[in-house]
Amino acid sequence: LTRARRIGRLLVPIFISGFARADTLTIAMNTRSYRGGRYRTKFRQMRASPSDWLALTLVTLWVLVAWMV
């Protein structure tokens, strides 16, 4: 019986803080008008094309030349 009370004293604050955190998260999501489903954006990984590498090289060279002068 004393062991159950000790476990209860430990678990009750954990559950209370968990519910408080969930409530805070719910309020934050509602404030930001979060909607799941089809309106949600998807992560799309992009790759650099040769023109991106060319632009990066040209900008890097331009910065180095400007820094040297």
The pTM (predicted TM-score) of the whole model is 0.44
Within a domain: residue 4? yes
| pLDDT of res. 2 | 82
Question: One digit per residue, pLDDT tens: the chain, 69 residues?
Answer: 788 888 888 888 899 999 999 999 999 998 988 877 777 777 888 999 999 999 999 999 999 999 888
Provide the 10 A C-beta neighbour count for residue 60. 10
Domain range for 27 is: 1-35
When computed from its CA atoms, the radius of gyration of the chain, rounded to whole angstroms, is: 27
| pLDDT of res. 50 | 96
Within a domain: residue 2? yes
| pLDDT of res. 61 | 96
- What are the Cα distances from residue 1, in Å, to 4, 8, 9, 15? 5, 11, 12, 21
Within a domain: residue 26? yes
| pLDDT of res. 48 | 95
Domain count, the chain: 1
Within a domain: residue 20? yes
Within a domain: residue 16? yes
Which tokens is 33 given?
């008008």
